[in-house]
Amino acid sequence: MLTQEGFRQRKWGEFPNLETILGDKSPDPSVGIYSIDDSLLGRLGRLAEISNLLEANLEEVVAAAESGKQEEIRSEVEGLVGQFKDVLEALDYNSFNLERILEKLR
C-alpha cells in the first residue's frame, strides 16, 4: 500500500510546477472526468476488468451464448463496447481542453 506521499508522487511526479499551482485544489465534480455518482477512471477500470475476463473466458461465454442466451450476451457485449466509446469520448474531450490550454500558454 502506498503512503500519502507515495500517492502524491505518483500523481504529480512528472508535473512539479503544476503541483505547485494546483496541488492543494480539489477538482469540480461537475466538470471533466468526474460525476456525482462515478468517476471516469473508476468506470474505465471496471470496464477493463470485465473486458479482460470476457476475453480470457471467451470459450465459456460462447458456450453460454450457444445454449440460448445469444441475444442477451450479445446485447451486454455491445453495451460494453458503447461504454468504452463513451470513455474514449470523455478522454478526447479532456485532451481537447488541454490543447486549448496549450494555445493560451503560447
pLDDT tens, 50-102? 998 999 989 899 999 999 989 999 899 999 999 999 999 999 999 999 999 99
d(CA 102, CA 106): 7
The residues, ordered by sequence, that sit 6+ positions from 62 with a Cβ below 8 Å of its Cβ are: none
Predicted local distance difference test score (pLDDT) of residue 36:
47
Q: Please give the distance of CA 14 from its chain centroid, rounded to a whole number.
A: 20
Q: What's the whole-model pTM score?
A: 0.67
